[in-house]
Chain A
Amino acid sequence: MNLKRLIQRVRHLVQILFFVFFVYLVVGAVCSFTVGDVQIVEPLGALQIVIASRLSIPQTILIPFLSAVAIFVGVTILLGRAWCAWACPIGSLTEFTEYLMKKMRFKPLLERKPKAYAKDRRLWGKEAKLPTLAAVMLSSAITKTPAWCSFCPIGTVCRGSVAGGFVAGAEMAIVGAVLAANTYEKHFFCKYICPVAGLLTLISKLNPLIKPRVEQVGCRRCAACAIICPWGLVVCEEKSFAECTKCFVCYSKCPYGVVTISLYETH
């Protein structure tokens, strides 16, 4: 087995391990969990409660809280949005759904009409998750609760094991809707709505490590990478890879094999 296939196998294995870890093993959910004595808090939830509570976090808890957030942010600066493709339970479920769709030879609705697809791209811009992020922040400021956390499908999946069973009640509908959206377009929720992905995109603009690079000699500008990439990045023309989740799918599947991974790159 060559490296290109091996790296995807390894990624799927890591996804399964993280899924089992977050949903069944860990104390807490993705939003906040402990590994040994180290506590980690997810930055979107943290940002929301800072806004919602108007900075009234108890003094005694402030230092551990901030350091718990800093761990996640630090990992994001080092590895970019690797979270989305390697660890996120909803990302894993989404990829599994797409795998099933492929096995059943079901093509996402939008990909059946290339013309409408091109037109729709204008409406659902890739950066649509940044306005969603802003909307979530404003909502939490207005309602004085971390508004997104109630609906967040990532947290919902992890809470399911606590509630007994996989997911319960109204939460079933949330995860169901996210997975059903994949029949319209691949990675619909992750691409356009997920505010966690939006926040991680903002943070990973600082990330200089592990970026796909296209060898200009062999590339035929077929733009197949835009279809291959789960995030719709045109790898051969992309300047900043803030959106890149380090899933290495472009590396594995480029028809001419011209995509390589550079460990360190400055713009």
Chain B
Amino acid sequence: MNRRTFLWSIVCLFAFTTTLTLTNLNRRRKIRPPGVTSEEEFLSLCIRCNMCADICPTKGIEPDNTSLSTLGTPELKGYCAVYLDLVDPSPSKNSAFKKLRPSAELCFRCINACPTGALRDVSVKDLRMGLAEVNRSTCLAWRYNICYRCVDICVFDAVEIRGQGIHVNEALCVGCKQCEYICPVPSKAIVVRPLGAEELEEGRRLRERRGT
């Protein structure tokens, strides 16, 4: 290695780290595939091979191409199949499934496929990808007392009918996005939003207290 190639390496290093640091600022939170317990740990282990995106039965996982530093990392843009046979969610199918199987399961194909352990092997109890939120001004259940499709679809019974409208039980919701997928309102009255690190921790504690 001569002096010029050494200088070239220094330039490379600075260019790389500067771009990455700049693009890391103000990063939008994203909904990750199941098995991500901390965003930093996930980003340090993911080699962007998109095995999970290829193997996902619903094709809900897609590579993210919005930010340069996380280019190619998987993001849950569609929805997570809760029962494997339930690739296309529909309320009637889901209700039948609920009766047949007492406890909900996720297919976890992405976790099994991940070569580096960026998606950790978690149980459904610890799983949390996001949290559903109801927009009361557009939700048909709140406005006209009709629809309730999200209540039907939720295998975790996290969307409950309480009082005059629907509420999301924060301790039960894992953020599988099926309710968002099935919502008939074009602008989606129930939306899953990504969680911050503190909220993830809080959700885990809440669940432990409930003993679910």
A65-B117, A149-B47 given; A132·B65 CB < 8 A = no
Alpha-carbon gap, A122 to B113, bound state (A): 45
Q: Would you give the shortest CB distance from B189 to chain A, in whole angstroms?
A: 27
Closest partner residue, chain A, to B16 (CB atom)? A139
Considering the complex, which residues of chain A in the window 192-225 have a beta carbon less than 8 Å from any beta carbon of chain B?
Answer: none
Q: Would you give the shortest CB distance from A30 to chain B, in whole angstroms?
A: 8
Alpha-carbon gap, A39 to B16, bound state (A): 30
Instruction: List chain B residues, Cβ under 8 A from A30.
Output: 49
Alpha-carbon gap, A49 to B41, bound state (A): 10
Per-residue CB proximity of A249-262 to B under 8 Å, as 1/0? 00000000000000
* A110 proximal to B (CB < 8 A): no
* B161 proximal to A (CB < 8 A): no
Cβ contact within 8 Å between B21 and A162: no
Instruction: List chain A residues, Cβ under 8 A from B44.
Output: 49, 52-54, 56, 144-146
* A147 proximal to B (CB < 8 A): yes
* B129 proximal to A (CB < 8 A): no
Per-residue CB proximity of B49-91 to A under 8 Å, as 1/0? 1110111000000110100111111000000000000000000
* B96 proximal to A (CB < 8 A): no
* B1 proximal to A (CB < 8 A): yes
Cβ contact within 8 Å between A159 and B63: yes
Closest partner residue, chain A, to B21 (CB atom)? A143
Per-residue CB proximity of B21-56 to A under 8 Å, as 1/0? 100100000000000000011011111111101110
Cβ contact within 8 Å between B121 and A58: yes
Considering the complex, which residues of chain A in the window 114-135 have a beta carbon less than 8 Å from any beta carbon of chain B?
Answer: 122-123, 125, 127-128, 130-132, 134-135
A131 contact from B1, B20, B65, B113, Cβ within 8 A: B1
Cβ contact within 8 Å between A150 and B48: yes
A29-B49, A125-B4 given; A145·B43 CB < 8 A = yes
Cβ contact within 8 Å between A162 and B5: no
A53-B44, A128-B5, A143-B20 given; A29·B50 CB < 8 A = yes
Cβ contact within 8 Å between A130 and B50: no
Alpha-carbon gap, A152 to B48, bound state (A): 10
A41-B115, A139-B13, A155-B72 given; A146·B121 CB < 8 A = no
* B2 proximal to A (CB < 8 A): yes
A131-B1, A143-B20 given; A45·B8 CB < 8 A = no
Q: How many residues of chain A are within 8 Å of chain B by beta carbon?
A: 60
Closest partner residue, chain B, to A54 (CB atom)? B44
Closest partner residue, chain A, to B14 (CB atom)? A135
Q: Would you give the shortest CB distance from B14 to chain A, in whole angstroms?
A: 9
Alpha-carbon gap, A244 to B54, bound state (A): 33
Alpha-carbon gap, A4 to B78, bound state (A): 51
B12 contact from A132, A149, A155, Cβ within 8 A: A132
Instruction: List chain B residues, Cβ under 8 A from A127.
Output: 1, 5
A-B pairs with lowest CB-CB distance, top 7: A131-B9, A28-B51, A45-B47, A61-B117, A31-B49, A32-B49, A135-B12
For this complex, 23 residue pairs linking A to B, each with C-beta atoms less than 8 Å apart, are A28-B113, A28-B115, A29-B51, A32-B115, A39-B115, A49-B118, A56-B44, A57-B116, A60-B117, A61-B114, A68-B115, A125-B5, A128-B8, A135-B12, A136-B12, A143-B21, A144-B40, A146-B44, A147-B20, A155-B48, A162-B50, A169-B65, A170-B71
Other A-B contacts than A131-B9, A136-B16, A146-B46, 17 sampled, CB-CB below 8 A, are A41-B116, A46-B116, A49-B118, A56-B44, A58-B121, A61-B115, A123-B4, A128-B8, A143-B20, A149-B72, A150-B72, A155-B48, A162-B50, A162-B62, A168-B65, A171-B71, A171-B72
